[in-house]
Amino acid sequence: MTAHDDSGTVTLWLLGVCLLLVALGGISVDLWRGFSARRSLGNTADAAALAGASAIDEDAYRHRGVVQLEPAVAESRARAHVTRQLDAGALRDVDVHADRDAVTVVVRGEVGFTLLGVLGPDGDLPVRVTATATPRRAR
86 domain-assigned: yes
44 located within any domain? yes
Residue 95 belongs to a domain: yes
Note the pLDDT of residue 98: 93
Does residue 105 lie in a domain region? Answer: yes
Q: How far apart, in whole angstroms, are the C-alpha atoms of residue 50 and residue 103? A: 8
On whether residue 129 sits in a domain, the answer given is: yes
Domain count, the chain: 1
- For residue 138, tell me if it sits in a domain: no
List, for residues 81-101, the tens digit of each pLDDT value.
998 876 767 788 899 999 999
Residue 139 lies in a domain: no
- pLDDT band at 136, cuts 50/70/90? confident
Is residue 135 within 8 A of residue 56, CB to CB? The reply is yes
Q: Please, which pLDDT band fits residue 5 given cuts at 50, 70 and 90? A: low
CA atoms within a 13 Å half-sphere pointing along the CA-CB vector of 106: 5
Range of the domain at 9: 3-133
- The rounded distance, in Å, linking the Cα atoms of 64 and 58 is 10
113 C-beta neighbours (distance < 10 Å), count: 20
pTM here is 0.76
pLDDT above 90 for 131: yes
Q: Does residue 100 sit within a domain?
A: yes
